[in-house]
């Protein structure tokens, strides 16, 4: 588990994914601090890592990345930590398109290729 401090390319992401799930890697994005934590068994583990680093709960959103997949299916908005009725998000996905765009932007800043 780590909060990224340098950009990763798809090959590096694939190597991380091979360690746990094979074709997928879990991540949590802090949309305000523009941070990405990767490589946890659970999204909640990555969430705790970011919270300990100073992130705010309301800014953290769980995702899955599929390094071997191109296009829109590379990033999946699916995590139990996303269920936040108090923020208007009532599913495991991310219902707000502007928020999904912020998440995509953070991922694109950290993952190249």
Q: What DSSP state is assigned to residue 54?
A: T
Give the tokens for residue 8. Answer: 């990763």
Check whether 113 has a pLDDT greater than 90.
no
Number of domains in the chain: 1
- Please name the residues in contact with 67: beta carbons below 8 A apart, sequence gap of 6 or more: 10, 11, 13, 14, 17, 23, 25, 74
Check whether 19 has a pLDDT greater than 90.
no
Reported as a pLDDT band with limits 50, 70 and 90, residue 39 is very high
- Which tens digits make up the pLDDT trace of 58-101? 999 999 999 999 999 999 999 999 999 999 999 999 999 999 99
Give the domain extent around 56.
2-112
Check whether 20 has a pLDDT greater than 90.
no
Assessment of whether the complete model's pTM goes beyond 0.85: yes
Mean predicted confidence (pLDDT) in 35-62? 97
């Amino acid at each position: 588990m780590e909060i990224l401090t340098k950009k990763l390319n798809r090959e590096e992401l694939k190597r991380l994914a091979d360690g746990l799930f094979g074709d997928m890697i879990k991540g949590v994005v802090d949309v305000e601090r523009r941070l990405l934590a990767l490589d946890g068994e659970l999204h909640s583990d990555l969430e705790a890592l970011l919270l300990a680093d100073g992130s705010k709960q309301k800014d953290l959103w769980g995702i899955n990345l599929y390094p071997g997949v191109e296009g829109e299916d590379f990033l999946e908005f699916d995590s139990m930590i996303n269920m936040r009725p108090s923020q208007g998000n009532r599913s495991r996905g991310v219902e707000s398109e502007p928020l999904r765009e912020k998440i995509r932007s953070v991922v694109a800043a950290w993952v190249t290729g």
